[in-house]
């Protein structure tokens, strides 16, 4: 019989052997490529000495195809909890050096358990994805394990924030996991994600394409809109994740953490008074408005490479985190198309789920028209914005900077759809359609029959413009709470957030809205 000292020594040896991880050659090759190991990622992410590992000794039970003789340290995934900048966080890090981090039965169970644990204790859950895909040797057990993971993350959705870091390959069914989380951060050179890799594409549909083209950062941050943030390398991804977490509460029962700031909440921004071009068709950079009114000019933009005709991201006002949704006239006049609608709607719903106030900065000529957008479902996609605003219970503040036409008026947040406070700049142009369009419809017969058509047309456009294409008609009806100087925008937003800090909303019971998907 072993002595206590011998048992403890054996325990230490077993624990240390597992912590050495998998194949040394794989670890060395990745180190040369500038990638951290799974344990190095965990150590870098968490505050020193705070990480507690769960499931270190978990082991697969498969004997087929020689797996009974195959050691897979920690089942190819490290799970546990610790503190990040002093706040508790749960994390899972896949280990590519251990059988390529393949997803088997107990790999999936550890993954799902981490999410269940995070949900129960009310802490954010972070996943570091880096896997060779399904562990085919385990057959049906692998297949079923994906379902456990997906169900766990769906049931945790809206309860705790979930962030996925795409640091290596993530292909096949497993790729659903990162895209179903709240935010996805993809490493520019090493992160790859797709429903199938190039080999499958060639075999099954005859398409020849590289891994970079099919599954790299451009495929998802620019084209598909599935990547929210692009990072340069592992450390940058982990740093950006920490930064993002700073804007978020730990769970849906908390408010986001307010921080100290020396930036005066009543500060005026005189340069905004001269920002808007004289001609309404000339673009301007909405990012200048955003950075000038938020605390310390700091704006954390999300999905900046996708649907660039709109802007979303996080900032602070007098130390309070807030979500910002805006139009960008520098790109496609800031119009709302199917991609912009999806991008803004999901962000609005996230902020509402986690008690983050929302600020809308409007300069939009409307929803995109024409056969291409109609056939892509602009009505269905555009409706997502309406659901998102109407369902939201957080403070909702709308600033009409310039154009607020047609469906964009409520698609970008007006009184009728749910805004608590609406302010407009003197440059605001708020109407059902632009003066030129309105005149061409209302006065079509008169213009056609006139001897000097151009003169009559110009006169009618000017008449409609003066009567309706301004902020005053909306203010007269109470649809706009006040017309403010652009320079006072920061001050008015901060005052509004003060007033709305304890906003409550009573609604009839229901499971959720049947949103157009």
Active-site residue 76, yes or no? no
Instruction: Give the pair of three-digit tokens for residue 121.
Output: 């204790």
Q: What mean pLDDT do residues 257-275 have?
A: 97
74 falls in which pLDDT band (50, 70, 90)?
Answer: very high
Phi-psi group of 341: left, alpha or beta (phi > 0 → left; psi -120 to 50 → alpha; rest → beta): alpha
Q: What was the pLDDT predicted at 474?
A: 93
Cα angle value 30/32/35 (rounded, 5°): 45
172, 313, 382, 474: the catalytic one is 172
Contacting residues for 356 by C-beta, under 8 A, at least 6 apart: 247, 248, 249, 256, 314, 321, 322, 323, 350, 394
407, 411, 418, 474: the catalytic one is 407
Residue 262, pLDDT > 80, answer yes
Q: What mean pLDDT do residues 63-81 have?
A: 89
- Which tens digit of pLDDT belongs to each residue from 101-153? 888 899 999 999 999 999 999 999 999 999 988 888 888 888 899 999 999 99
H helix or E strand, kind and range, residue 338: helix 338-353
The full set of domains in the chain, from first to last, is 34-245 (3.90.226.10), 270-432+470-499 (3.90.226.10), 435-468 (no CATH)
358-364 and 482-483 beta bridge pairing: unpaired
What does the alpha-carbon distance between residue 54 and residue 115 come to, in Å, rounded to a whole number?
12
408, 424, 428, 496: the catalytic one is 408
Mean pLDDT of the chain: 93
- 289 contacts 401 by C-beta, under 8 angstroms: yes
Residue 263 CB-density burial (10 A; 0-12 exposed, 13-18 middle, 19+ buried): middle
122, 139, 158, 173: the catalytic one is 173
What does the alpha-carbon distance between residue 32 and residue 198 come to, in Å, rounded to a whole number?
25
- Which tens digit of pLDDT belongs to each residue from 369-410? 999 999 999 999 999 999 999 999 999 999 999 999 989 999
Contacting residues for 323 by C-beta, under 8 A, at least 6 apart: 312, 313, 314, 347, 348, 350, 351, 356, 357, 358, 359
- Which tens digit of pLDDT belongs to each residue from 197-217? 898 889 999 999 999 999 999
What does the alpha-carbon distance between residue 435 and residue 280 come to, in Å, rounded to a whole number?
11
What does the alpha-carbon distance between residue 85 and residue 87 come to, in Å, rounded to a whole number?
6
- 336 contacts 368 by C-beta, under 8 angstroms: yes
Instruction: Give the pair of three-digit tokens for residue 349.
Output: 């719903």
Active-site residue 172, yes or no? yes
What does the alpha-carbon distance between residue 101 and residue 75 come to, in Å, rounded to a whole number?
8
pLDDT above 70: percentage of residues in the chain? 100
H helix or E strand, kind and range, residue 230: strand 229-231
What does the alpha-carbon distance between residue 164 and residue 407 come to, in Å, rounded to a whole number?
34
pLDDT above 90: percentage of residues in the chain? 78
Q: What was the pLDDT predicted at 295?
A: 98
Residue 1 CB-density burial (10 A; 0-12 exposed, 13-18 middle, 19+ buried): exposed
Q: What is the model's pTM? A: 0.94
Q: What was the pLDDT predicted at 443?
A: 76
Angle formed by the axes of helices 489-499 and 286-293, nearest 10°: 60
Question: What b-and-e string marks burial along 11-33, b requiring 16 or more CB atoms within 10 Å of the CB?
Answer: eeeeeeebeebbeeebbeebeee
- Which tens digit of pLDDT belongs to each residue from 417-453? 999 999 999 999 998 877 777 777 777 777 777 778 7
Active-site residue 408, yes or no? yes
Compute how many other C-beta atoms are within 10 angstroms of the C-beta atom of residue 158: 17
162-166 and 183-187 beta bridge pairing: parallel
What does the alpha-carbon distance between residue 508 and residue 333 come to, in Å, rounded to a whole number?
39
Instruction: Give the pair of three-digit tokens for residue 89.
Output: 């966080």
Between these two residues, 31 and 250, which has the higher pLDDT value? 250
Contacting residues for 508 by C-beta, under 8 A, at least 6 apart: none
**Distances in whole angstroms, Cα of residue 109 to Cα of each of 95, 491, 511:** 15, 50, 28
Phi-psi group of 144: left, alpha or beta (phi > 0 → left; psi -120 to 50 → alpha; rest → beta): alpha
Phi, then psi, of 345 in degrees rounded to 5? -60, -45
């Amino acid at each position: 019989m072993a002595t206590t000292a011998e048992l403890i020594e054996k325990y230490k040896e077993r624990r240390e052997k597992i912590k050495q991880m998998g194949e040394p050659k794989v670890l060395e090759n990745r180190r040369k490529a500038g990638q951290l190991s799974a344990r190095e990622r965990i150590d870098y992410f968490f505050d020193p000495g705070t990480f507690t590992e769960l499931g270190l000794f978990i082991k697969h039970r498969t004997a087929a195809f020689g797996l009974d003789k195959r050691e897979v340290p920690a089942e190819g995934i490290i799970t546990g909890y610790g503190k990040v900048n002093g706040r508790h966080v749960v994390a899972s890090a896949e280990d590519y050096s251990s059988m390529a981090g393949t997803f088997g039965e107990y790999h999936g169970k550890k993954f799902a358990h981490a999410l269940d644990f995070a949900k129960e204790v009310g802490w954010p859950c972070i996943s570091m994805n880096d896997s060779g895909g399904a562990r085919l040797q385990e057959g049906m057990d692998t297949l079923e394990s994906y379902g456990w993971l997906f169900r766990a993350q769906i049931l945790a959705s809206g309860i705790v924030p979930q962030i996925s870091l795409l640091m290596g390959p993530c292909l096949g069914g497993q790729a659903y996991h990162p895209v179903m989380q709240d935010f996805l951060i993809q490493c520019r050179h090493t992160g790859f994600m797709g429903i199938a890799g190039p080999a499958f594409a060639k075999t099954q549909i005859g398409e020849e394409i590289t891994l970079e083209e099919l599954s790299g950062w451009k495929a998802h941050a620019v084209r598909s809109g599935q990547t929210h943030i692009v990072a340069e390398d592992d450390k940058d991804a982990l740093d950006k994740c920490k930064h993002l977490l700073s804007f978020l509460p730990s769970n849906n029962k908390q408010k986001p953490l307010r921080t100290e700031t020396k930036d005066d909440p009543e500060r005026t921004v005189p340069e905004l008074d001269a920002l808007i071009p004289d001609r309404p068709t000339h673009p301007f950079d909405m990012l200048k408005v955003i950075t000038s009114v938020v605390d310390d000019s700091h704006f954390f933009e999300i999905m900046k490479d996708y649907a660039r005709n709109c802007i979303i991201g996080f900032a602070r006002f007098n130390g309070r985190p807030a979500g910002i949704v805006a139009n960008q006239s520098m790109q496609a006049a800031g119009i709302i198309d199917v991609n912009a609608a999806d991008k803004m709607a999901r962000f609005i719903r996230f902020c509402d789920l986690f008690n983050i106030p929302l600020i809308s900065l409007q300069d939009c000529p409307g929803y995109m028209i024409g056969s291409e957008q109609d056939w892509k479902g602009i009505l269905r996609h555009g409706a997502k914005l309406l659901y998102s605003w109407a369902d939201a219970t957080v403070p909702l503040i709308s600033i009409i900077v310039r154009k607020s036409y047609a469906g964009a008026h409520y698609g970008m947040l007006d009184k009728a759809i749910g805004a608590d406070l609406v302010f407009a700049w003197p440059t605001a142009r708020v109407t059902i359609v632009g003066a030129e369009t309105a005149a061409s419809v209302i006065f079509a017969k008169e213009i056609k029959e006139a001897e000097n058509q151009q003169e009559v047309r110009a006169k009618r456009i000017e008449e409609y413009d003066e009567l309706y294409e301004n902020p005053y008609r909306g203010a007269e009806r109470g649809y706009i709470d006040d017309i403010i100087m652009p320079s006072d925008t920061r001050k008015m937003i901060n005052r509004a957030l003060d007033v709305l800090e304890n906003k409550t909303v009573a609604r009839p019971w229901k499971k959720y809205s049947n949103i157009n998907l």
